[in-house]
A = this chain, B = another copy of it.
Amino acid sequence: MAYNLLKGKKGIIFGALDEKSIAWKVAERAHEEGAVFTLTNTPTAMRFGEINELAEKCNAVVIPADATNIDDLENLIKKSMEILGGKVDFILHSIGMSMNVRKKRVYNDVKYDYFIKTLDISSLSFHKLLQTCFKFDAINEWGSVVALSYIAAQRVLYGYNDMADAKALLESIARSFGYIYGREKKIRINTISQSPTLTTAGGGVKGISGLMDFTERMSPLGNASAEECANFTIVLFSDLSKKVTMQNIFHDGGFSSMGMSLRAMRMYNRSLDCEDCPDVE
């Protein structure tokens, strides 16, 4: 399905690593919906990923950028405006990384250099991007900026570590800058709080498969896929959501509004009823 929802619109998409990435799906869908855009990722991610394949498919230029580096961001913004022939209409921020998670430092024994790096990469990068765009007046009136978040910003999930705090900070930055950018330029800024998704990045989180079974059973519509997330992102980029701003919208099959479902309770109760199962603490 394609509706020409982004016909004539220009954008920048961060964070497409490989075809499992949500950003990858957003790029594919934005292309189908008539948008032109540049793609960006860190040089490292570009080496390991397959972004050039995506770029070819979408007729997009790839501009490497470390999203924590202002010079890189300035270069990205300026080049994007050159290539696209003017200001952009939408931006996707899909960036997150925790060295504490990678190095298996638990939350009560984090390294603070890592913690600040987590915040810089996963949250402040969003502010840096917005401030750079603001400086260059790089977004058209009624443009739309979306960042991807996760319910860990509101509720603690075992093992999500300092990424939870980074997502809370990210959502706060979306609100804070959403006020400024809305007031000054009629530009909206929102976050989408997506179901846990088996991307190459998300796959690294400890115990993700048990959690995904639980969220699948808790969510009346099941976990949302990367494709579905891309569809909803397109909506937030389109002219049909012009007055939605400073919001965090849950795209999660209903998980965030559940306390306990029948299907999850059945699976849980099976463990309770099991007499031969190994003891659990």
Listed in ascending order, the chain A residues whose CB lies under 8 Å from chain B are 1, 3-5, 70, 106-110, 112, 115-116, 119-120, 124, 127-128, 130-131, 134-135, 151-159, 161-162, 164-165, 168-169, 171-173, 175-184, 186, 188, 195, 207, 210-211, 213-214, 219-222, 224-225, 228-229, 231-232, 234-235, 238-247, 249-254, 256-272, 274, 276-278, 280-281
The secondary structure that dominates the A interface is: helix
- Closest residue of chain B to A241 (Cβ to Cβ) is B232
Task: Pick the contact of A182: B180, B250, B253 (CB < 8 A).
Answer: B253
Q: Find A267's partner among B120, B158, B252, B272 (CB 8 Å cutoff).
A: B272
Excluding A110-B131, A156-B260, 7 further A-B contacts by CB distance (< 8 Å) are A109-B134, A153-B172, A156-B176, A210-B269, A224-B243, A225-B243, A247-B250
> In this complex, what residue of B is CB-closest to A115?
B124
Provide 6 A-B residue pairs closer than 8 Å at the C-beta atoms, listed in order of the A residue. Answer: A107-B180, A156-B246, A165-B169, A188-B221, A214-B265, A221-B242
Q: Given A178-B220, A260-B158, decide whether A243 and B253 contact each other with a Cβ distance below 8 A.
A: yes
Q: What separation, in Å, do the CA atoms of A235 and B184 have in the docked complex?
A: 26
Asked whether A158 lies within 8 Å of B270 as measured between CB atoms, the reply is no
Q: How far is the CA of A182 from the CA of B158 in the complex (A)?
A: 13
How many copies of the shown chain assemble into the complex? 4
- Interchain CB contact (< 8 A) of A207 among B116, B169, B251, B265: B265
Instruction: Give the residue of B131, B240, B261 whose beta carbon is less than 8 angstroms from that of A109.
Output: B131
Cβ of A119: which chain B residues have Cβ within 8 Å of it? 116, 119, 169
- Whole-angstrom CA separation of A217 from B70 in the bound complex: 33
Name the CB-closest residue of B to A220. Answer: B182
User: CB-CB < 8 A to A135: which residues of B?
Assistant: 109
Question: Is B265 touching A183 in the complex (CB atoms < 8 A)?
Answer: no
Bound CA–CA A274/B270 (angstroms): 9
Which B residue sits closest to A271, measured CB to CB? B271
Do B234 and A240 have beta carbons less than 8 Å apart?
A: yes
Contact, CB under 8 Å: A210 / B176: no
A237 to chain B minimum Cβ distance, whole angstroms, is 11
Could you tell me if A249 and B249 are in contact, using CB atoms closer than 8 angstroms?
yes
A115: B residues at CB distance < 8 A: 124, 127
